[in-house]
Amino acid sequence: MFENLLQLIVLFVVIIDPLASFAVFAVATDPMKDAERRRTAFLAIAVAAIISGLVLFAGERLLELFNTDIQNFKVAGGIILLIFGIQMSLGMSLFKVEEKEGSSTAAIASIIATPLLTGPATISTIIITSHDYGVLCTGIAIAIVLAFSAGLLLLSARISHKIGKMPIQVMSTIMGLITLAWGIMFIRDGLGF
């Protein structure tokens, strides 16, 4: 079981890509105060954990309940990633932080939670691995990777201050291009190209 768990942890680190979420989170929450940034991080991880748990235990039945399938989910997630990737690549403001308190927190948290942490690739992988490796092993692997992601998000302000704004902006542009590529890949996969 330990070998399977290690394989699943590596797989989910690649699929969930906590570093990509860290880069997006660091840029999107830069204008926020520490308390709001922490709330945003906890909300993003909580939403990602809830989605992962639902998919882990309900799987494809959940998609059927909403009268959709993984292909449609890939296209929808791809469109969101395209928009998000364009904004990141061009250095545009992702959210208006000056809007009423809490609105930017929820908006940023929802984007980090899905499609970044628990997008179509993560959902597909959870469904497949829970079938192949079991719910327990898959659940432990997801919990470990989400805990690591939470640590990165919570430390984003400190890490950003230590390395400076320029590397974060460069990383944001690069991650924006990668996010664009993911969006295109999800749409192509969803449409069967």
Residue 112: count other Cβ atoms within 10 Å of its Cβ: 27
**Of 47 and 127, more confident:** 47
Distance CA 41, CA 79 (A): 23
| Lookup result for tokens 């992601």 | 149
38 DSSP 8-state letter: H
Dmax over Cα atoms in the chain, in whole Å?
Answer: 49
Q: Determine the Cα–Cα distance for residues 127 and 98; give it in Å rounded to an integer.
A: 39
pLDDT one-digit tens code per residue, 120-178: 778 878 887 888 889 999 999 999 999 999 999 999 888 877 877 677 677 767 767 87
Mean pLDDT of 4-13: 90
Please give the average per-residue pLDDT across 6-19, as a whole number. 86
Q: Which amino acid is at 102?
A: G
The CA dihedral of 124, 129, 132, 138, to the nearest 10 degrees, is -150
Q: What is the pLDDT of residues 96-111, one digit of tens each?
A: 444 444 557 888 888 8
Q: How many CA atoms lie within 13 A of 159 on its CB side?
A: 15
Q: Does the model's pTM come out above 0.85?
A: no
